[in-house]
């Protein structure tokens, strides 16, 4: 415990005022007060200085400047190594950077310092869930829920882990507890609906999702001036959607977002939304991007609405239908320099009868980013997987070892805008499940240097044959927006992981650490903005 009596009277008074602002949620005023104290010549060992630095670090950790947050947290931990709050904040930061090992070490220390703080055990559970250590994750989350029954974030995460463990009835209970406690209604309701679908309670799941859609109605965002192109962003209950948070620039468009009700709903597809309001759009962007999640026929409903509106359509539903995982071998057959592992649909019963003589990848349809993706190398691993009660529909793919000669795995992502490829990121990881967040890219300069080379000259990295294969994938995918995740073999061939419309494009990394991403990634969004304007019948924006 820091003794504030040793600090000067003025510093103590300023600190107390800042802490009061913080307690009242007046974050701007609190930050200003902490910075005022740090600006005084109190010395880094002064108790008021240490406390102000720690509180400022917590504010920064909740903001966008993660580099500043890390610097403040590092400095504070050096001055106060027994701060559970800073260990927790730094652990969360490491989790966001994909360094689960470092995060767990920090969070474990936080739990030693303050074992009765529920958020610490919740974060430990999140980390363990990320790396597939589900029983340990559940133990940590149970501890969080026991410590604070009103901390409903723990119930949300318990539902996720229990689902992964196949304990669906318990997952349903946890999700309902979270909803009753005021957890994010939209996200938790969608999670609960997914659990109900796994339990074959389809009507209940759709009823929940339809109610969400009715409550949302037609949501407006972006620009409000008459000169802005008007975009109808079309989604649907139960569909798999294109991530548009960064892709569709709200500074460029007036956006109206609509989620179609499920076809079985009596007021489908629009609910109370007036069709006349939809006709005001200049262009429709169909955000239904995953045919593997079209179990309710929402692509057909979107196609019918688009035809009725008679507006230009970006990513028409009929083109999205061609992009299922198990359709990729046929869609990309004969592309020189492209290896397409043959995916096929199966069931747990069929998997049980399959003899595992070489590693395979198994996942439910419609999943991305490594969610619920498992590598099975032998009969024992198959039995363990089946014991957890997987979904009734699965996609099976032969595992292709894409490890580079230096022992790392590399996953390249490019997005296609109007069929033209734009490089987005390169993940360099230490294990076969290659995703960007797992690579610790923020803390490895050599990885960022290699990623920058890829963004600056992806054709040079891929070579003539590999680049030509990527170009052909973009042409055959034939989407206005889509993308590919892939790897490179030693002889320059491209190994396809997935190619569809649900590829995420974002720019969340801090510019201080990733200046090259802030130069190259906006090129893809700018190209998409030009495409939307062109389809909407608007002239190109003047160059700035």
Looking at residues 342-357, what average pLDDT do you find?
Answer: 89
Question: Domains of the chain, with CATH numbers?
Answer: 4-151 (1.25.40.10), 211-323 (3.40.50), 342-398 (3.30.1490.20), 409-534 (3.30.470)
The order of strands in the sheet holding 344-346 is 344-346, 394-398, 360-363, 374-376
User: What residues form DSSP beta bridges with 396?
Assistant: 344, 362
User: What number of CA atoms fall less than 13 Å from residue 65's CA on the CB side?
Assistant: 11
Question: What does the pLDDT look like over 300-309, one tens digit per residue?
Answer: 999 999 999 9
223-228-229 Cα angle (round to 5): 115
pLDDT of residue 11: 80
Cβ burial 330-363 (10 Å sphere, 16+ → b, else e): ebbeebebbbbbebeebeeeebeeeeeeeebbbb
At residue 363, the pLDDT reads 87
Coil, helix or strand at residue 499: strand
E-assigned strands of 283-442? Answer: 283-286, 288-290, 313-314, 338-339, 344-346, 360-363, 374-376, 394-398, 409-417, 420-429
Alpha carbon distance 96, 526 (integer Å): 27
Is the model's pLDDT at 371 over the cut of 80? no
Residue 6 has pLDDT above 60, yes or no: no
Average pLDDT over every residue of 121-136? 91
Name the residue among 525, 521, 509, 501 with its Cα closest to residue 439: 509
Mean pLDDT of 209-217: 94
Longest dimension (CA), the chain: 78
370 pLDDT tier (thresholds 50, 70, 90): low
Residue position matching structure tokens 């005001």: 280
Is 40 a residue whose pLDDT tops 60? yes
Query: Helices (DSSP H) in 199-283: which residue ranges?
Result: 202-216, 275-278
The pLDDT value given to residue 445:
93
3-state secondary structure of 23: helix
Contact 34, 60 (CB under 8 A): no
Q: Which residues contact 306 (CB under 8 A, 6 or more apart)?
A: 234, 284, 286, 313, 316, 317
| pLDDT tens string 309-325 | 999 999 999 999 999 99
What pLDDT does residue 369 have? 65
pLDDT per residue over 7-19, tens digit each?
A: 444 788 889 999 9
- The model's pTM is 0.85
User: In whole angstroms, how far apart are CA 413 and each of 435, 504, 516?
Assistant: 10, 9, 16
Over residues 364-380, mean pLDDT: 79
Q: Which element (helix H / strand E) includes 138?
A: helix 134-147
Mean pLDDT, the chain, rounded, equals: 91
pLDDT per residue over 519-541, tens digit each? 999 999 999 999 999 999 999 88
| Beta bridge partner(s), residue 397 | 361
In this prediction, residue 130 has a pLDDT band, given cuts at 50, 70 and 90, of confident
Q: Rounded to whole angstroms, how far apart are CA atoms 366 and 395?
A: 9
> Is the predicted pLDDT of residue 432 greater than 90, yes or no?
no
């Amino acid at each position: 415990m820091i003794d504030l009596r040793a600090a000067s009277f003025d510093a103590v008074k300023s600190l107390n005022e800042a802490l009061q602002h913080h307690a009242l949620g007046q974050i701007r005023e609190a930050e200003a007060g902490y910075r005022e104290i740090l600006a005084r010549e109190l010395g880094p060992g002064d108790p008021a200085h240490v406390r102000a630095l720690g509180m400022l670090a917590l504010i920064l950790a909740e903001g966008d400047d993660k580099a500043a947050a890390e610097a403040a947290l590092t400095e504070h931990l050096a001055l106060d190594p027994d701060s559970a709050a800073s260990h927790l904040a730094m652990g969360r930061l490491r989790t966001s950077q994909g360094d689960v090992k470092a995060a767990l070490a920090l969070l474990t220390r936080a739990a030693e310092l303050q074992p009765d703080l529920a958020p610490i055990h919740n974060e430990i559970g999140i980390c363990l869930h990320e790396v597939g250590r589900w029983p340990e994750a559940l133990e940590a989350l149970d501890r969080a829920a026991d410590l604070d029954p009103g901390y409903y974030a723990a119930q949300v995460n318990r539902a996720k882990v229990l689902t992964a463990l196949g304990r669906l009835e318990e997952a349903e209970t946890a999700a309902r507890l979270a909803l009753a406690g005021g957890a994010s209604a939209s996200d938790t309701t969608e999670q609960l609906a997914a659990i109900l679908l796994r339990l074959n309670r389809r009507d209940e799941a759709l009823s929940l999702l339809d109610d969400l859609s009715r409550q949302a109605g037609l949501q407006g965002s972006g620009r409000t001036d008459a000169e802005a192109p008007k975009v109808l962003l079309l989604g649907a209950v139960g569909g798999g959607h294109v991530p548009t948070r960064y892709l569709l620039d709200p500074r460029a468009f007036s956006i109206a977002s609509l989620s179609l009700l499920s076809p079985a709903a009596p007021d489908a597809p629009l609910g109370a939304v007036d069709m006349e309001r939809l006709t005001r759009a200049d262009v429709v962007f169909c955000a239904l991007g995953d045919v593997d999640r079209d179990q309710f026929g929402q692509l057909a409903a979107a196609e019918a609405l688009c035809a009725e509106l008679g507006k230009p359509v970006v990513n028409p539903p009929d083109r999205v239908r061609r992009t299922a995982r198990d359709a990729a071998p046929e869609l990309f057959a004969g592309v020189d320099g492209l290896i397409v592992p043959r995916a096929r649909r199966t069931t747990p019963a069929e998997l049980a009868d399959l003899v595992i003589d070489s590693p395979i990848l198994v996942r439910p349809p419609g999943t991305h980013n490594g969610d619920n993706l498992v590598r099975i190398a032998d009969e024992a691993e198959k039995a363990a997987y089946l014991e957890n009660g997987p979904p009734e529909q699965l996609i099976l793919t032969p595992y292709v070892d894409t490890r580079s000669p230096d022992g790392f795995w590399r996953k390249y992502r490019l997005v296609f805008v109007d069929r033209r490829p734009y490089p987005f990121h390169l993940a360099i990881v230490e294990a076969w499940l290659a995703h960007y967040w797992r690579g610790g890219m923020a803390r490895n300069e050599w990885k960022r240097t290699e990623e920058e080379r890829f963004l600056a000259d992806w054709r040079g990295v891929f070579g003539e044959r590999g680049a030509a294969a990527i170009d052909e994938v973009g042409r055959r995918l034939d989407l206005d927006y889509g993308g590919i995740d892939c790897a490179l073999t030693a002889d320059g061939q491209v190994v396809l992981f997935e190619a569809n419309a649900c590829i995420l494009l974002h720019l969340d990394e801090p510019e201080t650490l990733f200046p090259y991403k802030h130069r190259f990634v906006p090129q893809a969004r700018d190209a998409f903005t030009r495409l939307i304007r062109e389809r909407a019948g608007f002239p190109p924006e003047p160059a700035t």
